[in-house]
Structure 1
Amino acid sequence: MTVGENEAVEAFERLGLTSYEAKVFIALHRLEAGTARDVARITDVPRSQVYTVAESLEERGLLEIQQSSPIRYRPVSLEEAQETLQERFERERDRAFEYVDDVKHESAGEETQEDIWTVRGRDRVDDRVVDLLSSGEERIVFGTRLPELVTERIERTLEERAASGATVLAVSRADRVRDRLDSLEGVVIDLPPPSRESDQRSGRIVIADDDAILLSVVDDDGGETAIWSSGSLFASVLVQLIEAGEEVAASSETE
């Protein structure tokens, strides 16, 4: 592949050089050695800027300065330049990732970062639903009002968790959904609270044990967006709030 000068300059910039530094370095390799006037003649770097740029390149170990009149500059060999830039890159890389590794383990006092995630798209929500259902060891709740949101993978996972000994509860008011879920071995069917009868936006709900939850909504165009959390205080509290709300609704219905 043939690389043009502009591409080479951009590549040097990504390695940490300025545009002028890259152009002066390239020009000096064309000249093998030269003065500021020589460099300015074959680049768009102003002669007045060549002196400052050359000093910077010397500090980087990429050229040598001959104290003559006029001052002359000579670049280091390509092999030496490659080694110098590589060492610098590795040094800066190590410094950056060392810092990230340190702060990753720092305590933020009494505050904790809760993992609350958003996932968009029917297929991606499907995958997350199956993952959360599979993680439930003692108790699983799955609910939806839409038959198309009950996939074969979800049905299979619900049966597998029931067979493993987990309590599996499927919740829906839609007859088609209830019929499908009722045919699953070991899955118990229940109705959602009456307060949700007019709901036209909800997608799916998943609760796995007491610390994993997913809630999704269906957009006007049929797309699905979900928030989910697992193993977090947020998930535990939200599960408790949902279940407390359902108990209150069920109590009101019987009164």
Structure 2
Amino acid sequence: MTGSEETPSFRLAYVPGVTPAKWVRVWNERLPDIPLSLHQVTAAEAFDMLRAGDADAGFVRLPVDRTFFSAIPLYTETTVVVVPKDHVITAAEEVTLADLADEVLCHPLDDVFDWDAPPGEPAFERPATTEDAVELVAAGVGLLVVPQSLARLHHRRDLTYRPLTDAPQSTVALSWPEEATTDLVEDFIGIVRGRTVNSTRGRQAEQPPQGAQGARAQPKRPQKATAAGRGAQGRSGGAKRTQSAKPAKRGKPRRRS
């Protein structure tokens, strides 16, 4: 390898709430010589990072710009409302947006939902981040609507959450620039989709070794018997017929005088 060649690596961005550990573990098992680096970024920063070529792929939240990015939807999260543990909403197992009509709702600047109109009454000002909004909920300023993974990420002992049955939902996807679909990106797509090591999709499958081809060769046909062989078989058959002939009958014994 010359000094100008770079060691191959894979850079993976991911947004808060996504846990890429299981896919990273499989990558390290299959491609131990190619390091994978993780970069946690906000939902907005993830696309900027991919556009700039600072990451090869990323776990993002839909929607994506389909004119530039490819994306594989992975799962859709449950939407929840984060409330203090002593809030009246905790008496129900699940709630609706109508139940929040009279509540003050914190709407952070990094909100992952594309609301036509956020539910409830708006707070005095919008917090900068979801983490800041959680702090306001803990202070009794208002409530917060987020995907369940973000409620777990910012868990506090004095807070809890309830599912919102009719709220918008957030879908997590694997995304990458369409014009930069490299072999390593294909390898990671295969891992995320659960393909086996020997799958023929994605990269070209390796050619089987010569020994394997020889093992699949058709068996040889049996050779025809030669004239000498047929003669031998005939003599052998005659001998068998002689051996199988019935023994001659004995004469009657003479009477004694």
- TM-score, length basis structure 2: 0.18
- Please say which structure displays the higher CA radius of gyration: 2
Greater helix proportion: 1
Higher relative contact order (Cα pairs below 8 Å, separated by 6+ residues)? 2
